[in-house]
Amino acid sequence: MSLLTNMFVSSPHGNLGLTTNQMMRIVAYATLPGLAAQIYFFGWGSLIQAILCISTALIAEAVVLSLREKPIRRTLSDGSAMLTGLLLALSIPPLAPWWIAVIGTVFAIIVVKQLYGGMGFNLFNPAMAGYVVLLISFPVAMTNWLPPTELLQHPMAFGDAFLAVFTGFTYDGYNLTQLKMSVDGITMATPLDHFKTEQILNYTTTEILNSPLYGEYGGTGWLEVNLAFLLGGLALLKLGIIRWHIPVAVIGSLGVCALLGITIAPDQTYPLSFSLLSGATMFAAFFIATDPVSASTTNQGRIVYGCFIGVMIYIIRIWGGYPDGIAFAVLLANMCVPLIDHYTKPVTYGHKRRREAKS
């Protein structure tokens, strides 16, 4: 029991010498470049959401643990609730109202994680399940990303962001819709969202990409955020916290799909750089899909799992109703994990594969 609670690392169980708490903390530190980039490009809202989500997560976890009569202090200090809150905060729009963060976090911690038995027993990625609950419940608020700060008409200070999150209005009395107006008075959405809407209006890719929203590669701001998450993810790989299979499979399969799309229908699909460096692609590949509890546990299985996520992200982005499909892709893949694990069971050392043994 103590082994389980203190050492929660993904297989293979090579000794990293890290406790769960240290692991979770390293993952949390690795998200910092991404968080910093989000704050730089999308304002202080991200930081407020992070604080709000983490504190809600800790409170919710403590309440459930006391109901379940489990050791509160020890379980809270493993950092998993903190990380769930942080990951959820990074996925929701920076200026979403405070109750969105609270509902999502409470659902993620209580229903998705603790009702299934707590740390290590959850079938689904708590942060993503919480995100999906929010997305299908409050579709408007959850897609209300502000355009990057440099395109904003009304620049925002920390106090403005704080007021916007908790009251819905900034210090000067602007609400979210007014804030979304860019310099030239056009309401802005995220690049993926914008692309989808314009495409329904039958614009071609080249025409759509002329908007200042897109910048050079993945959309202004979004490119840098993705690169920052990539940086953090590479650090995690270097430290051996995650293994290469899932990120490589996610990015690789998404890239292959994007290339196929460009070849077949260049004017209806996203360019490759846009596929890989916009939305939450890098965040998902390194921080969401690699969750040790809900991901596949065999090396072969991880590749299948990652490829499934990558392909599903592309399918949902192109044909789905939502602009980005990472949360849905991850949850669908979580459902397949028992099956994937069953068929990719590694052969015990010294034994032969069944097929070879037969021949």
Partner 1 sequence: MSNDSNVADPIDDLVDNDQPQASSFDWRSITFQGLWKNNPALVQLLGLCPLLAVTNSVTNALGLGLATLLVLVVSNLTVSLVKNWVTKEIRISVFIMIIASFVTIVQLLMNAYTYELYLSLGIFIPLIVTNCAIIGRAEAFASKNPPKEAALDGLMMGLGFAIVLVFLGAIREVLGQGTLFDGAHLLLGDWAKALKIEVFKVDQAFLLAILPPGAFIGMGFIIAGKNYIDNKIAQRQASSKPKKSVTRARVTHVN
Contact residues: partner 1, CB under 8 A = 103, 111, 133, 136-141
What is the SS3 assignment for 250? Answer: helix
Residue closer to partner 1 by CB (options 321, 350) is: 321
Query: Least distance in Å: CB of 329 to partner 1?
Result: 18
- Are the beta carbons of 302 and 296 closer than 8 angstroms? yes
Q: What does the buried/exposed string (b/e) look like for 280-293 if buried means 16 or more CB atoms within 10 Å of the residue's CB? A: bbbbbbbbbbbbbb
Query: Least distance in Å: CB of 179 to partner 1?
Result: 17
Query: Least distance in Å: CB of 327 to partner 1?
Result: 14
Query: Least distance in Å: CB of 282 to partner 1?
Result: 28
Residue closer to partner 1 by CB (options 41, 138) is: 138
Residue closer to partner 1 by CB (options 88, 249) is: 88
Residue closer to partner 1 by CB (options 142, 188) is: 142
Distance CA 313, CA 308 (A): 9
Distance CA 154, CA 133 (A): 31
Residue closer to partner 1 by CB (options 10, 49) is: 49
State the chain's maximal CA–CA distance in angstroms: 78
Residue closer to partner 1 by CB (options 141, 237) is: 141
Residue closer to partner 1 by CB (options 110, 250) is: 110
- Are the beta carbons of 95 and 146 closer than 8 angstroms? yes
Nearest Cα neighbor of 17 from 9, 5, 29 is 9
Query: Least distance in Å: CB of 198 to partner 1?
Result: 25
- 262 HSE (CA, 13 A, CB side): 12
Burial label, 231 (beta-carbon count in 10 A; 0-12, 13-18, 19+): middle
Query: Least distance in Å: CB of 133 to partner 1?
Result: 6
Cα pseudo-dihedral 265, 222, 289, 62, rounded to 10:
-150
Query: Least distance in Å: CB of 124 to partner 1?
Result: 13
Q: How far is CA 143 from CA 35, 93, 214, 280, in A?
A: 18, 7, 17, 13
Distance CA 163, CA 308 (A): 40
Phi-psi region of 279 (alpha: psi -120 to 50; beta: other; left: phi over 0): left
Angle, helices 80-91/32-42, rounded to nearest 10 degrees: 30
Residue closer to partner 1 by CB (options 170, 281) is: 170
Write the DSSP assignment of 178-202 as a string of letters: HHTBBTTS-B---HHHHHHHHHHTT
Residue closer to partner 1 by CB (options 318, 327) is: 327
Query: Least distance in Å: CB of 352 to partner 1?
Result: 45
Query: Least distance in Å: CB of 138 to partner 1?
Result: 5
